[in-house]
Each structure stands twice: as structure tokens, then as C-alpha cells.
Amino acid sequence: MASKRLYVGNLAYDVREEQLRELFAPYGPVAAVQIIGTRGFAFVEIPAERLPDALTLNGSLQFGRPIVVNEARPRGERTDFRGGGDRKPGGMYRGSGDRGGGPGYQGARPGGGGGRPGGSGRPGGGGGRPGGGRPAPGRPGAGRPGAGRPGAGGTRSGRDRAERRERAERYDRRGW
């Protein structure tokens, strides 16, 4: 009798092997149960002919949570999820290869952002933060470490501001 391996996810962290064996017992003899550390998922082997019946447990409330039950995929078919969300292989962001994105790219954040935390790098560029990443009214320098306290730093020199303004103007002339 051939067996099939099931992925069982969204498990409570205190679920034990005996509990999973009891849960899948109505679908035939459970050949193996492998709980993966404290990650909230496990693999269960049941007879192949009972697989469609066992898949009906998907979404059912078990151990206080709605569980996920799918046929386990072989290791080679899994997607490599390591990396940074909207980045291309090699660590590059979508668009022209820099964090600003290409023409028309508004970023993954509401209101643009180009992938930079807190803003797009342009003057007035919003990012996904309310108020464009600027401090809330009545809170001077909020959001910058040490800002708003006398002698704590957090301010830019005039030269830094001039360089940033010049860089922003160059980017605007290019059309990004």
C-alpha cells in the first residue's frame, strides 16, 4: 500500500504527535508523523487512496486554529523564499537597478516610496508613512534618533542639505 505525505500547517505550537495521529486516524493508518520543531507545521503520511478525504480537513478548526492541509510537495518543487520581497536576484530592486525604481514605478508602499524606508528620496517624496515620513505637528524632529532634544544631534548640516537638494534636482531632470 503506497502512502502520501501531507503538509499540515498553522498548528498550535503545543500540538503533539499523538494528537495528529488521532486527527488523521479516520483516513487510514498513519505511517509517520513529523512535527517540525516549534514552527507550527508537520508532515503526516497516510494511505494514498485516502488522500482526497484527508484534504477535506483543510481550513477546519483543529486545536483552536484553522489548519492548512495540502499534499506535501517534493523538496525540488519548493520556491526559494529567501530574499527581499520586491528585489530581483542579486539584491536589486525592481526598476532601473537602484532603489528609486524605473519610470512609472510607484513602489510597493502606499503613496510611492520606491522601496526606501520612509520615502522615495525626492523632496516631498512620501513613502508609505502618514505625513510623508515627516514629524507629526507639535513633535519636533520625531522619527529621527536623538532629534528634538537639545545637544542630541539629529540635524543635518547646510552642506548635507545642499548635496541632497542637488542630487534630487539631478534625478528630477532625468525623469525619475
Going by pLDDT thresholds of 50, 70 and 90, the confidence category of residue 48 is very high
Residue 69 — φ and ψ, nearest 5°?
A: -130, 120
Q: Is the pLDDT of residue 160 over 90?
A: no
In order of their start, the domains of the chain are 3-75 (3.30.70.330)
Residue 136's identity, in one-letter code, is: A
Q: Is the pLDDT of residue 65 over 70?
A: yes
Q: Is the pLDDT of residue 128 over 90?
A: no
Percentage, residues of the chain above pLDDT 90: 38
- Please state, in angstroms and rounded to a whole number, the distance separating the CA atoms of residues 128 and 169: 22
Please write the tens of the pLDDT for every residue from 84-126: 555 555 555 555 455 555 555 555 555 554 545 554 455 555 4
The residue whose grid cell reads 494511505 is: 47
Residue 154's identity, in one-letter code, is: G
